Amino acid sequence: MAPKKGDLTEEERELITVISKGTVEEAGRCLGSKEVRVNCLDEHGMTPLMHAAYKGKADMCKLLLQHGAEVNCNEHEHGYTALMFAGLSGKKEIVWMMLEAGADPDVLNSVGRTASQMAAFVGQHDCVTVINNFYPREKLDYYTKPQGLNTEPKLPVKLSGPLYKIITTTNLHPVKIVFMVKENPLLMETDALKKCSNVLDQICEKCMKQQDMNEVLAMKMHYISCILQKCITYIQEKEDKLDTFIKSLLKGRDSDCFPVFQEKLIRESIRKFPYCEATLLQQLVRSIAPVEIGSDPTAFSVLTQAITGQVGFIDAEFCTTCGEKGASKRCSVCKLVIYCDQNCQKLHWFTHKKICKILKEKREKHELEDAKEKKRQEKYNNQGLCIGIVYIHTGFCLYERNFYNVGIINLYSYRYSLPVPSSIGCPPRLSRLKGFKTFLFIYVYF
- Site map (CB under 5 A) of Zn ion, residues 345-364, x = contact: -----------x--------
| Residues 6+ away with beta carbon under 8 Å from 223 | 172, 266, 269, 270, 303, 307
Sign of CA dihedral 181, 184, 188, 190: negative
> Is residue 331 close enough to count as binding Zn ion by CB under 5 A?
yes
Other residues' Cβ atoms within 10 Å of the Cβ of residue 27: 24
CB of residue 184 vs Zn ion: minimum separation in angstroms? 18
Task: Give whichever of 341 and 369 is closer to Zn ion, judged by the CB atom.
Answer: 341
- Cα-atom radius of gyration of the chain, to the nearest Å? 26
CB of residue 326 vs Zn ion: minimum separation in angstroms? 10
Q: Of 12-20, 297-305, 320-328, 410-418, which part binds Zn ion (CB under 5 A)?
A: 320-328
Task: Give whichever of 319 and 398 is closer to Zn ion, judged by the CB atom.
Answer: 319
**Mutual orientation of helices 10-21 and 24-32 as an angle, nearest 10°?**
160
* Closest to 51 measured CA to CA, from 78, 21, 26, 28: 21
How many residues bind to Zn ion according to rule CB under 5 A? 10
Q: Of 75-83, 199-207, 209-217, 311-319, which part binds Zn ion (CB under 5 A)?
A: 311-319
| DSSP code at position 309 | -
Interface with Zn ion (CB under 5 A), residue from 94, 334, 398, 433: 334
Interface with Zn ion (CB under 5 A), residue from 89, 129, 321, 402: 321
> Is residue 324 close enough to count as binding Zn ion by CB under 5 A?
yes
| Rounded Cα distance, 99 and 307, in Å | 17
> Is residue 344 close enough to count as binding Zn ion by CB under 5 A?
yes
> Is residue 333 close enough to count as binding Zn ion by CB under 5 A?
yes
* Closest to 348 measured CA to CA, from 294, 293, 403, 398: 398
How is 179-236 classified by DSSP, letter by letter? HHHHH-GGGSSHHHHHHHHHHHHHHHHHHHHSSS--HHHHHHHHHHHHHHHHHHHHHH
Q: Of 240-248, 335-343, 391-399, 405-413, which part binds Zn ion (CB under 5 A)?
A: 335-343
> Is residue 319 close enough to count as binding Zn ion by CB under 5 A?
yes
Residues lying near Zn ion in the complex (CB under 5 A): 319, 321-322, 324, 331, 333-334, 340, 344, 356
